[in-house]
Chain A
Amino acid sequence: MNPHYQHLYDILAHSQGYIFPNEIDLQWGILIVVYPFITGLVAGAFILASLERVFKVKILKPTYQIALLTALSFLLVATLPLISHLSQPQRAYEIMITPHSSSAMAIFGFVYLWYLMVVLLLEIWFDYRHSMVVWANEKKGVMKYVYKILTLGVNDISPRTLKWDRKLGYIITVVGIPSAFILHGYVGFIFGSIKANPWWSTPLMPIIFLFSAMVSGISMVMLIYMVISWFRKKAIEVNVLDSIGKFLFFVLILDFTLEGLDQIQRIYEAEESFEIIKLLVSSKLYLTLFVSQGLIGTIIPLITLAFLQFYKHQIRLKKTIYFIIGLLVLVGVYSMRWNVVIGGQLFSKSFAGFTSFKVGLIGLDGTLMAAFWIILPFGILAFLLWLLPPWKMVEPEE
């Protein structure tokens, strides 16, 4: 038999109860789990950077450029999981060139380009322009011209112009915060606006996505900061970790509260879909929801972070704990994306049955591809850190 039909018969054998024919096979696989995960890291990293800039949290200075470059590296990759999921790379660009306001997906071109061109690239440019002018004068060979091109020929480093760099950069950051909110709120909206799916359809969805994005972005920047310091053989400043940890703690509480509210509302309303959702979370999503997202990704980090606010001894141990917490939170947020994307497709909209999902290893929609898209941004980040090293930046004279 044709392998496609063989595949359908195989899953059909694993489905339970009554399901509609078009629900047997999941339309959105692991790549669609990776997409909101990566986009969330972009928004979260950017918001951490803005904290330093707009709210003048001086202690986060060492992570400011790292956060911006992290956001850029992940943003450049954000669309690629979608493209490999669709398996039509030869016409993938069409979503970018024919944006339209009438469809949540067709508006993506606007949201993405605005965030990349107007927010991230501009902010990084204003921030690095002074340094790039200096580097262009210091370096020789090709790199001299690379930096020259990157400055767009604005070589003026008089105090007045530099002041304008900071001023304009500040304006961009102020514009950037709502943009980051929109970018990730938009991803939540894609799910929240599907009214036929009771597991997705809630106006809280964009906000929940946003806060979990901030949680994941903050953890990721913390981890990257630690790894970079380790590579550069520089001491990790525990003050920086403490204040990142404090923000992570507050945002995690907000995130936990919002998701809790969403669930309490669902339980209390107990609409006709509630029975099947109850079965879903207590069987197929048990491990990823209660263990991975709830316990490992939220409760343990919350308790540990609260404890670390008071713990002042054994700095080395403290750093190790922060590192582990960062990883746990990322696992938790990834599980949250999984629970939303995969969970929402596992139960039948007849509310009387389940299908099953087995993720493949190879192919454009498989685990290896997903792992590749998660690893690729780190490669881009390494390149960006080599091209625009934050630790070699020219300090402006105040």
Chain B
Amino acid sequence: MKFYIPPQIPRLVIAFAIFISLFLVARHFLVPDTFGKYGHYRAASLIDNANPEIHYAGQQACFDCHQDIEDLKAKDVHSDIHCEVCHGPGEKHVLSSEAADIFKPSGREFCGSCHALNAAKPKSAIFQIDLNKHNVGKNCNECHNPHQPWEMKK
């Protein structure tokens, strides 16, 4: 007895063979050049990741121009807080020297993002105040110099 193959099967085999070949051809052209050089990833992505756009300048770049602030900070509890923690990324400002290119924070909420009373933070680690009670209506920098917080303004 002759073995019967339904007519759908050979046609589907051809269709799948065409699909798989097209897939392989497309894959040949679409897989990035450096893919698989070191592992299952695009090797050139290492170079991309090593060269991201720079946003932060680092505090030495700030001190190169703002020597006075460096001296102020050195005397008080904010000495370990780098400039860009509060002022945001500063590379643009370093390159342009424009005042508009750096963020100058103000307002109780901003200081509160570190200093607001928070049960999850140990009191010994950071000084905390209750924003709802402590000199309500006043801005922090009316009394405190953020660069030298305990040197109270008169």
Contact = CB atoms under 8 A, between A and B. Distances in A.
A173 to B, nearest CB: 15
A164 interface: yes
A129 interface: yes
Contacts of A122: 12
A5 B30 contact: no
Contacts of A94: 30-32
B8 A106 contact: no
Given A152-B15, A168-B6, A5 B89 contact: yes
A129 B11 CA distance: 13
Interface in B1-22: 6-9, 11-12, 15-16, 19
A89 interface: no
B82 interface: no
B30 A2 contact: no
Interface in A145-165: 152-154, 156, 160-161, 164-165
Nearest to A1: B103
Interface size on A, as a range, is 20 to 34
Interface residues of B, number: 28
A253 B40 CA distance: 43
Contacts of A160: 6
Contacts of A17: 118-120
Interface string A79-118: 0000000000000011001101010001000000000010
A12 interface: yes
Given A94-B32, A102-B40, A18 B121 contact: yes
A352 interface: yes
What 7 A-B pairs have minimum CB-CB distances, sorted nearest first?
A: A164-B6, A17-B120, A1-B103, A18-B120, A97-B27, A352-B120, A152-B11
Interface of B: 6-9, 11-12, 15-16, 19, 23, 26-27, 30-32, 35, 40, 55, 88-89, 103, 109-110, 113, 118-121
